Amino acid sequence: MVRVLLCCTLLGVLVSGQISDLRYTETSNDNLAEAIQFLREFDREAAEMCNRVANAEWRYSTNGTEFNKRRMREQQNLASKLECISWRRAVSFDSSRIVDTSIRRQLGRIVQQGRCGLGDGKYAELQHVLSLLKDNYNGAKVCPFRRIGTDPGTDLGTFSSAAGSYPSSNYVSSYTGYCDLKISPDLTRIMETSRSEPELRYYWIAWREKTGPPVKNTFMRYLNLANQAAEQHGFQDAGEQMRSVYEDGNFFFTVNGLQPLYKQLFTYVRRGLIRHYGEHLIRRDGPIPAHLLGNMWAQNWRHLIDLIKPGPPETPDVSGEMVRQGYTPMKIFQTAEEFFTSIGLSPMAPEFWRNSVLQKPTDGSGQQCSASAWDFCNKVDFRIKQCTQVTLDDFIGTHHEMTHIQYYMQYASQPFLYREGPNPAFHEALANAITLSVGGPAHLQKIGLLNSPVTVTNGNTMVNIEYLLNLALDKLPFMAFSLALEKWRWYVFEKGPVGMNARWWELRLRYQGIIPPTGRGFEHFDAGAKYHVISDQDYIKYFVATVLQFQIYSELCQAAQHYGPLHTCDIYRSREAGRILSDVMQQGASLSSAQLIKLLTRGKSSRLSVEPLLEFFRPLEAWLEVQNHDEPTLQTAPGQSLSAVV
């Protein structure tokens, strides 16, 4: 038997502070009328609470004062209480005996996720544990590579031993007055731009010292509590609960054919790194040390392009051309809006232009600059916050964020529980499918930002190859990293934390072909250097979204009657492509992932397919094979397990 909340206005009780006065009674309920009434109340009250939280989070993100932070936490705590009250009510209904599929689906979306089954005490403890994990990460700072103080000329790299170790954390922490480098933007920029191996190694190790070991025991408590919650929600462990949002067990299927493409890219990157760093650091037939790949987690390799591709780039400077043509942040957003109206979608509402923040304020308000799209849950207020620069990256990023806004607008008429994608991957997949169109040479040429010939029959001019190479460096390592991260997390949820650091590097080698730059032992917690791990955030969505974005893009290109190589497609001004995009977006989460893919493909398939991704990169793969013809292969092949998602 389960408990029913005898309460009619949940939000009113929350706001009045009368949480302790709520009363529950044991019953089992299959009454459709009561379920409909509950969902009607939930729809109104959850949307109102969502609006309150969004407003509080917006104020803090645009003006990061302590006062705004406290107000934000207050609203988030109220939202958590409403979530648990709603969960307790939803689990009281016997969904198996409710014949209305939409009612059953909505109840399932409330019941399935969350951690409310823990009970109030352990739920509060879990929130506290997660707060400790996130606070340690967000507060982590490391010392500069070069000593500052009595001997400013000494390079910390000279202290390394033959085994590759660096000064202990005690030595580093003796410079606390200067240890103020944070992951963003400081360490991120250094890992992207530095070409000094000792410097890269130092920061790679220093970041992991600050983020992993201090919270290792706290993370173990998180694992225990998350598993307890999952069991209360009917799952074997928290990994199974995380995967359940994808609904269909067959949604994860064998992705065949990625390994050859990844191996070619890996081999080409390794050759370029050997050319710069030498064979004393990287074997010609071996894995790549993780600190040399242009990213703190080796998840994105696009910042290596200057090292791995001999000679100057042949792609014209699009960012410079934008400046010459008088682009401003506002013009970038107007251009993005015009792209969507050209395919028949709606323009941005007046509220968007009035409330969005499109460039960094000059009033010193402490705004966070990471680009984000916001839904204020009232069906009219949608915003973007972005410190826009006149660059190609921000041009593409603006279209990405505006796709999220279009998605919010399209499914706004759905019940609150359906105002999202059917699984966590769909929002990113749709946004990235649009960027495949607007970021390609064909579109840039069409709107006058690129004058080089790009749409030749075979699509393999050097401009095209450089475009494909940049995208491959961005997307393929990220897929492998995403899979390694989640395989590791699912493993520790199922098997426990014993040997978890060794398991982390085993999976990084298996999926990415990389190794740590120095010895790592059981005392380390290197997965904890990634925010999504310690903050309890799903990551397999990025793998799924990468596969799905090419599938969406391919279908839109077919609707636009594109002929030629897939990567030269541009859906700009195609009303038929826009119609399909709108049809998919309007459904929100009212359909399952499989049903939505069937709608997207016009009945041809209901499953993910990697074939469009392989077709997109086929010219690059052929080019890489020529470049790598005399290169040895890695003995432990990177990407060898990309053929098995689960």
Kindly write down the DSSP assignment for every residue of 358-399, as one continuous string. Answer: -S--SS------S-EEEE-SSSS-EEEE----SSHHHHHHHH
Asked if 515 and 201 count as a contact pair (C-beta separation under 8 A), the reply is no
Strand duo 24-27 + 2-5: pairing: antiparallel
State the Cα–Cα distance between residues 90 and 93, nearest whole angstrom.
6
Exposure string (b/e) for 518-539, b if CB count within 10 Å is 16 or more?
bebeeebbbbbbbbbbbebebb
Asked if 154 and 147 count as a contact pair (C-beta separation under 8 A), the reply is yes
Q: What residue numbers does the annotated binding site for Zn(2+) cover?
A: 400, 404, 428
State the Cα–Cα distance between residues 299 and 515, nearest whole angstrom.
13
Asked if 118 and 232 count as a contact pair (C-beta separation under 8 A), the reply is yes
* SS3 category, 210: helix
- CA-CA-CA-CA dihedral for 136, 137, 138, 143, to nearest 10: 90
Exposure string (b/e) for 23-41, b if CB count within 10 Å is 16 or more?
eeeeeebeeeeebeebbeb
Q: To which H or E segment does residue 515 belong?
A: strand 514-515
Task: List CB contacts of 103: < 8 A, sequence separation 6 or more.
Answer: 32, 35, 36, 39
pTM of the complete model = 0.89
- Which position has the token pair 């949608």? 382
Residue type, position 353, single letter: W
| pLDDT value at residue 265 | 96
Asked if 98 and 31 count as a contact pair (C-beta separation under 8 A), the reply is no
- CA-CA-CA-CA dihedral for 503, 508, 511, 515, to nearest 10: -130
State the Cα–Cα distance between residues 301 and 73, nearest whole angstrom.
36
pLDDT in tens, 527-566: 999 999 999 999 999 999 999 999 999 999 999 999 999 9
* SS3 category, 181: strand
Task: Put residue 565 in one of left, alpha, beta given phi > 0 → left and psi -120 to 50 → alpha.
Answer: beta
State the Cα–Cα distance between residues 37 and 32, nearest whole angstrom.
9
Task: List CB contacts of 123: < 8 A, sequence separation 6 or more.
Answer: 80, 84, 115, 116, 229
pLDDT in tens, 258-316: 889 999 999 999 999 999 999 999 999 999 999 999 999 999 999 999 999 877 777 78
CA distances from 550 to 125, 430, 595, 609 (A): 41, 9, 18, 9
DSSP label of 186: I
Token pair of 613 as six digits: 């991704």
DSSP label of 535: T
- Which position has the token pair 């915003």? 383
- Which position has the token pair 């957003």? 333
* SS3 category, 343: coil
- Which position has the token pair 């190479």? 469
Token pair of 97 as six digits: 């005996």
| pLDDT value at residue 264 | 96
- Regions of the chain where pLDDT drops below 50: 1-27, 147-177, 254, 456-457, 642-646
Exposure string (b/e) for 142-151, b if CB count within 10 Å is 16 or more?
bbbbebeeee
Q: Which residues are identified as catalytic? A: 401, 532
* SS3 category, 603: coil
Q: To which H or E segment does residue 289 belong?
A: strand 288-289
Please give the backbone phi and psi of residue 142, each rounded to the nearest 5 degrees, phi first.
Answer: -125, 165
Chain length of the chain: 646
| pLDDT value at residue 6 | 30
Q: To which H or E segment does residue 108 belong?
A: helix 101-112
Asked if 293 and 642 count as a contact pair (C-beta separation under 8 A), the reply is no
* SS3 category, 514: strand
Residue 348: CA atoms inside 13 Å, Cβ hemisphere, count?
27
Q: Could you give the angle at which helices 329-342 and 426-438 cross, rounded to 10 degrees? A: 100
Asked if 31 and 94 count as a contact pair (C-beta separation under 8 A), the reply is no
* SS3 category, 81: helix
- Which position has the token pair 């949307």? 47
State the Cα–Cα distance between residues 270 and 262, nearest whole angstrom.
12
Residue type, position 194, single letter: S
Q: Could you give the angle at which helices 101-112 and 32-62 cross, rounded to 10 degrees? A: 50
State the Cα–Cα distance between residues 231 and 225, nearest whole angstrom.
10
State the Cα–Cα distance between residues 484 and 191, nearest whole angstrom.
21
State the Cα–Cα distance between residues 619 and 565, nearest whole angstrom.
8
Neighbour tally for 330: CB within 10 Å: 12
Task: List CB contacts of 158: < 8 A, sequence separation 6 or more.
Answer: 198
How buried is residue 479: exposed, middle or buried, by Cβ count under 10 Å (0-12/13-18/19+)?
Answer: buried
